[in-house]
A and B are shown apart, each in its own frame.
Chain A
Amino acid sequence: MHIRRYDGGYSRRHFLGQMLRGVLATGVLMPLYKAMAASGDITKAYPDELLSLDAYTHGKIKSGDLITADNVDLVADLMEPAKLYQVRKLGRQLKVVPTTTDVMRLSPWEYLEATFRNKGRARFDARGNVVNDDGKPWIGGSPFPDPQSALEVFAGQTMSWGRHDASLYAFKEYDLDPDGSLAYRYEGAWAELSPIARVSMDPKPYWPGHEDKLRYQSIVFTAPNDFLGTSYLNIWDYDQNTFPELYGYIPAFKRIRQFPTDQRFEPLVPGGSLYLSDAWAAGDPLHTWGNYTIVGRGPLLAGISGGWNPGHPNWEHSTHGGKDGQMFWDTEVELVPETIIVDAEPVKFPRAPVAKKRVWFDARTLLPVAMVSYDRRGDVFRSFDGAYGLYEAGEKSVMDGAHPYWSWGHVHAFDVQTGRMTRLEQVKEVSGGHQMLVNNPDTYERYLTKNALTRLARS
Chain B
Amino acid sequence: MDLQSMKFAKSAVVAVIAAMSGNALADGGFGNLNFSGFLRFESAYKLGGDENPFNQGGNLFNGVAVERSGGIPPSEVGLFNDVETRQVAETDNDFNLMYVRGRLDLGYKISSNFNLIGSVRAIFDPVIYDEFNPRQVDSQACCNFYQEPNYFEYAIEGGGRANPMEWAGRDYMVDIPTLYVDYQNGPLLIRAGNQQIAWGQALFFRVLDVPNGLDFRRHSILDFASEEYSDKRVPALGLRVSYQLSESWELDSFAQKFQSTIYSNANTPYNVIASQFTVRDYYDDYSDKINYGARIRGSIGDFGVQAIYAYRYNPDGVFRWTKSDVNRGLPGELPNVIPGLTDNLGNILQGVVDLLGGSIPATGAILAQTPFEVDPTGVHSAEEWFTYAAMARLDAREGLNASIEDFPATALLLAQPVDSDEAARRELDLFFQLSGGLRGHIERQYFRERVFGLGTSYVVLGEPGSFLDQLIINLEATYVPDRKFTNITLGQKFIEHDEWTTALVMEKYHRFTQAFPATYFVFQYMHKSESDIFGRHLSGFGATPEESISTTGGIDHGSNYLVLAFQQPFPSLVWRADFAALYDAEGGLLLQPAVRWKPNGNFTVEAFYNYIDTVSGNPNSNALSSAEWADELALRVSYQF
* Chain A residues within CB distance 8 Å of chain B: 175, 182-186, 209-210, 213, 222-226, 228, 235, 242-243, 245, 251-255, 257-263, 265-267, 269-273, 288, 347-353, 375-376, 418, 420, 431-433, 442, 445-446, 449-452, 454-455, 458-459
Q: Is the CB of B514 within 8 A of A184?
A: no
Report which of B29, B229, B469 forms a contact with A254, defined as CB distance below 8 A.
B229
Give the contact stretch, choosing among B164-172, B180-188, B581-589, B627-635. Answer: B180-188
State which residues 278-326 of B face A: CB under 8 Å: 297, 304
Q: Is the CB of A271 within 8 A of B198?
A: no
Q: Which of B297, B461, B518 has the most CB of A within 10 A?
A: B518
Shortest A257–chain B CB gap in Å is 6
Q: Which of A185, A228, A418 has the most CB of B within 10 A?
A: A228
In the complex, 9 of the A-B residue pairs with CB atoms within 8 angstroms, ordered by the A residue number, are A224-B601, A225-B640, A242-B461, A253-B228, A254-B229, A260-B470, A272-B572, A351-B511, A418-B572
List, in ascending order, chain A residues with CB within 8 A of B579's CB.
none
State which residues 28-69 of B face A: CB under 8 Å: 28-29, 32, 34, 36-38
Nearest A residue to B34 by beta-carbon distance? A431
Report which of B186, B242, B572 forms a contact with A454, defined as CB distance below 8 A.
B242
List, in ascending order, chain A residues with CB within 8 A of B133's CB.
none
List, in ascending order, chain B residues with CB within 8 A of A242's CB.
461
Q: Given that A252-B226, A254-B229 are contacting pairs, would A271 and B509 also be in contact in the complex, using a CB cutoff of 8 Å?
A: no
CA A235 – CA B459 in complex, angstroms? 14
Q: Is the CB of A451 within 8 A of B187?
A: yes
Q: Is the CB of A432 within 8 A of B107?
A: yes
Q: Given that A226-B38, A252-B230, A259-B472 are contacting pairs, would A420 and B572 also be in contact in the complex, using a CB cutoff of 8 Å?
A: yes
Q: Is the CB of B514 within 8 A of A260?
A: no
Shortest B485–chain A CB gap in Å is 27
CA A348 – CA B463 in complex, angstroms? 9
Shortest B296–chain A CB gap in Å is 12
Nearest B residue to A212 by beta-carbon distance? B247
Q: Is the CB of B304 within 8 A of A258?
A: yes
Shortest A386–chain B CB gap in Å is 22
Q: Is the CB of B470 within 8 A of A351?
A: no
Give the contact stretch, choosing among B149-157, B199-207, B491-499, B527-535. Answer: B199-207
State which residues 486-529 of B face A: CB under 8 Å: 507-509, 511-515, 517-518
Shortest A171–chain B CB gap in Å is 15
Report which of B34, B243, B509 forms a contact with A451, defined as CB distance below 8 A.
B243
Q: Tell me if A's interface is mostly helix, strand, loop or mixed.
A: loop
Q: Is the CB of B184 within 8 A of A446?
A: yes
Nearest B residue to A375 by beta-carbon distance? B514
Shortest B15–chain A CB gap in Å is 19
CA A348 – CA B244 in complex, angstroms? 33
Report which of B186, B235, B507 forms a contact with A260, defined as CB distance below 8 A.
B507
CA A252 – CA B606 in complex, angstroms? 14
Q: Is the CB of B200 within 8 A of A455?
A: no
Q: Is the CB of B233 within 8 A of A432?
A: no
List, in ascending order, chain B residues with CB within 8 A of A261's CB.
470
Q: Given that A226-B38, A271-B598, A459-B197 are contacting pairs, would A351 and B187 also be in contact in the complex, using a CB cutoff of 8 Å?
A: no
CA A11 – CA B235 in complex, angstroms? 68
Q: Is the CB of B189 within 8 A of A455?
A: yes
Shortest A378–chain B CB gap in Å is 13
Q: Is the CB of A451 within 8 A of B189?
A: yes
Q: Is the CB of A262 within 8 A of B34?
A: no
Report which of A226, A351, A431 forms a contact with B513, defined as CB distance below 8 A.
A351
Binary CB contact string for chain B from 117 to 149 against chain A (1 if under 8 A, 0 otherwise): 101000000000000000000000000000000
CA A29 – CA B343 in complex, angstroms? 125
Q: Is the CB of A352 within 8 A of B244?
A: no
Nearest A residue to B186 by beta-carbon distance? A445
CA A374 – CA B36 in complex, angstroms? 39
CA A260 – CA B535 in complex, angstroms? 32
Shortest A328–chain B CB gap in Å is 19
Question: Is B604 interfacial (CB-CB < 8 Å)?
Answer: yes
Shortest B164–chain A CB gap in Å is 18
Q: Is the CB of A431 within 8 A of B28?
A: yes
CA A178 – CA B472 in complex, angstroms? 38
Q: Given that A271-B572, A271-B573 are contacting pairs, would A260 and B28 also be in contact in the complex, using a CB cutoff of 8 Å?
A: no
Q: Which of A175, A184, A185 has the most CB of B within 10 A?
A: A184
Question: Is B160 interfacial (CB-CB < 8 Å)?
Answer: no
Q: Is the CB of A445 within 8 A of B244?
A: yes
CA A210 – CA B457 in complex, angstroms? 22
CA A350 – CA B115 in complex, angstroms? 44
Shortest B161–chain A CB gap in Å is 22
Q: Is the CB of B472 within 8 A of A260?
A: yes
Q: Is the CB of A266 within 8 A of B229?
A: no
Q: Is the CB of B34 within 8 A of A449?
A: no
Question: Is B600 interfacial (CB-CB < 8 Å)?
Answer: yes
Q: Is the CB of A349 within 8 A of B640?
A: no
Nearest A residue to B244 by beta-carbon distance? A451
Nearest A residue to B298 by beta-carbon distance? A450
Question: Is B178 interfacial (CB-CB < 8 Å)?
Answer: yes
Nearest B residue to A266 by beta-carbon distance? B517
Shortest A46–chain B CB gap in Å is 41
Q: Is the CB of A271 within 8 A of B243?
A: no
Question: Is B422 interfacial (CB-CB < 8 Å)?
Answer: no
List, in ascending order, chain A residues with CB within 8 A of B209's CB.
255
List, in ascending order, chain B residues with CB within 8 A of A213's CB.
247
Report which of B201, B227, B513, B638 forms a contact with A258, defined as CB distance below 8 A.
B201
CA A183 – CA B604 in complex, angstroms? 12
Q: Is the CB of A210 within 8 A of B247?
A: yes
Binary CB contact string for chain B from 550 to 570 against chain A (1 if under 8 A, 0 otherwise): 000000000000000000010
Q: Is the CB of B250 within 8 A of A376?
A: no
- Further pairs besides A243-B470, A258-B304, A450-B244: 13, Cβ < 8 Å: A225-B38, A225-B103, A225-B640, A254-B198, A261-B470, A262-B470, A265-B518, A270-B573, A351-B514, A431-B34, A446-B184, A458-B178, A459-B196
Q: Is the CB of B203 within 8 A of A253?
A: yes
Shortest B168–chain A CB gap in Å is 22
Q: Which of A182, A259, A348, A431 has the most CB of B within 10 A?
A: A431
Nearest B residue to A450 by beta-carbon distance? B250
Q: Is the CB of B465 within 8 A of A431?
A: no
Nearest B residue to A348 by beta-carbon distance? B464
List, in ascending order, chain B residues with CB within 8 A of A442's CB.
112
Q: Is the CB of A455 within 8 A of B518?
A: no
CA A222 – CA B36 in complex, angstroms? 10
CA A184 – CA B517 in complex, angstroms? 19
CA A260 – CA B640 in complex, angstroms? 29
List, in ascending order, chain B residues with CB within 8 A of A210's CB.
247
Question: Is B641 interfacial (CB-CB < 8 Å)?
Answer: yes
CA A261 – CA B184 in complex, angstroms? 29
List, in ascending order, chain A residues with CB within 8 A of B36's CB.
223-225, 228, 431
